[in-house]
Structure 1
Amino acid sequence: MSERSTVLLEQAEPPEQRVGRAVSARRRPLRVPLGLIRTARPRQWIKNVLVAAAPAAAGELDSRHTVVQLAVVFALFTAAASAVYLINDARDAEADRAHPVKRTRPVASGDVPAAVACAAGVLLAAAATAAAAVLCNTMTAALLTAYVLMQIAYCVRLKHVLVVDLAIVTTGFLMRAMIGGVALSIPLSRWFLITAGFGALFMVAAKRYSEAVEMAGSDGATRALLTSYTTGYLRFVWQLAAGVAVLGYCLWALESGGTANGSLLPWRQLSMIAFILAVLRYAVFADRGTAGAPEDVVLRDRPLAVIGLAWLAMYAMAVADL
């Protein structure tokens, strides 16, 4: 087509279409950077608040040093987790295109080239682990490095190994809960580790169960390992994990006996009620097969939010001996 013909066609094009095409052209340079940010899953960053779990459990959130250090750890863990998401989406682009929701992800939809997402993930992971070595203690850097290596191994191979995939994802959550205590050299209670570990397994298994229910009949197009699990097995896992998490929390709460230091009420023991109610409420969504996005369940269910706030209030009063 000659240049004159092209000009004539553009002149014949309706003005609103020409404006729309011009706007699209101006936005195109931002498509990849914005796509990378979306691939890093900003909505998932709320999970990294767990880095404050160990200091909170030990009642060590009352100093500026603690808050600053936790902010640094939060940023580093967020960077590391985002790096894993970038690498994961680059590898899973083909499978994601078969999923009704995941197909809109930037890499799966073609907004971000897989090679670019993978390279960005590798660079971000290297930066996060290097910064941890400089800004935190040696054990924090080691734990964050172990998390990144474990998650990359999960993306490459371990996500296809039965049961191991559940253990890896659960361990990732447990590392989140541990790293704040490690960064501040706070001893980690055995009850804390049991409750956090099995609580994480409960949510992970419930997520897998929901995915299996949602994608029934897809022959594993979106997650091949789902065809190797039965819904009955996944239900057994999340029910078992919920029971152990509740037992661990109750044993921790009862360990101190009655009221401490003249507290008005035994807040630590009373917090068991809110904890058990929260587990039971979340189990409603797990049983329905609608717990595929845990962050949506936690953020959008108002009764669960109220129960969580009640638990937080009782736990804070227990720590403060009020």
Structure 2
Amino acid sequence: MDALSKLMRVVRSNQWVKNLIVLGAPIAAGTFTERDTLIRAMISMTLFILASSAVYVFNDLQDRSADQYHPLKSLRPVSSGDVPPQIAGLIGLTCFLASLVGAAFLNLSVMYMLLTYFGVNVAYSIALKHVPYAELCLVASGFTIRAATGGLATDTHISFSYIAVVTLSSLCLISCKRFSECIAYVDHDFRPVLKKYSQRSLFLVISFSIVGSLLTYFIWVVQNQTSNTYSLLSWVMCAVGFLRFSNLAKLGKCENPTLILFTDKLLNISVTCWALTYIGSVYG
């Protein structure tokens, strides 16, 4: 059981929830309940779980020396020494190869998207994580690639407005994370790129991404002809969630966006209500 626990920590199973965005396209199209679409969507999400796990392992190996001095990252299996780098590397390589082989059997387009995802993350980890604003866009692009992969895997049409919603929403979350890190780590030694940001500039990015997300969300709803009471309520819940998240960022509480999404009660309520009203607008 201890070995399994270490394995789950190495591949950061607590971050797998991010891969739910892969299911977004077929759910939005109203085809998710169709047997073939459901199977292909679930397989593509599983492949992305493997792919993201490989990326997490690569990042931990790449940053293990610096992570040893971080108050939170020092607790990770690789940086803490709980898991030898060789074992972690083998786990990461296995996840990497398994995701590509599975994608090749499912859909070549999915395999190309996974390769793009790997390429973006390798570039980020090796060099571009030190380039302000570009690194925000690269991290956000990971969610965009996930969303597009879900559409390609299930032969679901992906509109520009859908991609814009996902990209801008992701940019908001990442910017809120950086804003909180600027507050939490005054010396910025744990993440050097923070020295190149100001809280004002990050808040401008947050504001822009929130406005852009809500505007493109509205356009997307109208384009998909799902304008009804449920869709209007989903838009309101989306706005509440964004405003709450940005407020938590200003308090320095969004260093771990995934954790705060599950622990903040108002965010829990707004996300749950958004999901219910959105599903109601599509399937109601």
The answer to whether TM tops 0.5 is yes
1:304 paired residue number: 267
Equivalences for residues 147-158 of structure 1 within 5 A? 147-158=117-128
Structure 1 residue ranges without an equivalent (≥5): 1-26, 260-264
Equivalences for residues 177-192 of structure 1 within 5 A? 177-192=147-162
Matched residues, percent identical?
31
- Pairwise CA distance, 1:255: 4.3
Does the alignment pair 1:117 with 2:88?
yes
Once the two structures are superposed, residues 182-229 of structure 1 have per-residue CA deviations (whole angstroms, 9 ceiling, x without a partner) of 101111112111111100000011111111211112xx3321211122
1:254/1:269 contact within 8 Å kept:
no
SS of alignment partner, residue 197 of structure 1: helix
Change (3 A) 1:144 1:188: same
Equivalences for residues 160-179 of structure 1 within 5 A? 160-179=130-149
Residue type of the alignment partner of 2:36: H
TM-score of the superposed pair, with normalisation by structure 1: 0.83
- Pairwise CA distance, 1:137: 1.2
1:201 paired residue number: 171
2:176/2:245 contact within 8 Å kept:
no
Once the two structures are superposed, residues 5-44 of structure 1 have per-residue CA deviations (whole angstroms, 9 ceiling, x without a partner) of xxxxxxxxxxxxxxxxxxxxxx9xx65x643431210100
1:103/1:109 contact within 8 Å kept:
yes
Quick one: distance in 2 between partners of 1:250 and 1:165?
27
Quick one: distance in 1 between partners of 2:246 and 2:194?
20
Quick one: distance in 1 between partners of 2:156 and 2:242?
27
Equivalences for residues 276-315 of structure 1 within 5 A? 276-315=239-278
Q: Structure 1 residues 91-100 or 115-124, which shifts more?
A: 115-124
2:102 paired residue number: 131
Residue type of the alignment partner of 1:286: A
- Pairwise CA distance, 1:258: 8.6
Change (3 A) 1:65 1:232: same
Structure 2 residue ranges without an equivalent (≥5): none
2:20 paired residue number: 49
2:23/2:42 contact within 8 Å kept:
no
1:40/1:82 contact within 8 Å kept:
yes
Does the alignment pair 1:106 with 2:77?
yes
Quick one: distance in 2 between partners of 1:287 and 1:127?
40
Once the two structures are superposed, residues 130-151 of structure 1 have per-residue CA deviations (whole angstroms, 9 ceiling, x without a partner) of 22101x1111111011111221
Q: Residue 240 of structure 1: which of 202, 205, 208 is its match? A: 208
Q: Residue 229 of structure 1: which of 197, 212, 225 is its match? A: 197
Of the two, which has the highest radius of gyration? 1
TM-score of the superposed pair, with normalisation by structure 2: 0.93
Q: Residue 220 of structure 2: which of 244, 247, 252 is its match? A: 252
Residue type of the alignment partner of 2:178: R
1:215 paired residue number: 185
SS of alignment partner, residue 197 of structure 2: coil
**Equivalent pairs, count:** 284
1:83/1:120 contact within 8 Å kept:
yes
Quick one: distance in 1 between partners of 2:15 and 2:203?
24
- Pairwise CA distance, 1:245: 0.5
Quick one: distance in 1 between partners of 2:12 and 2:113?
22
1:6 paired residue number: none
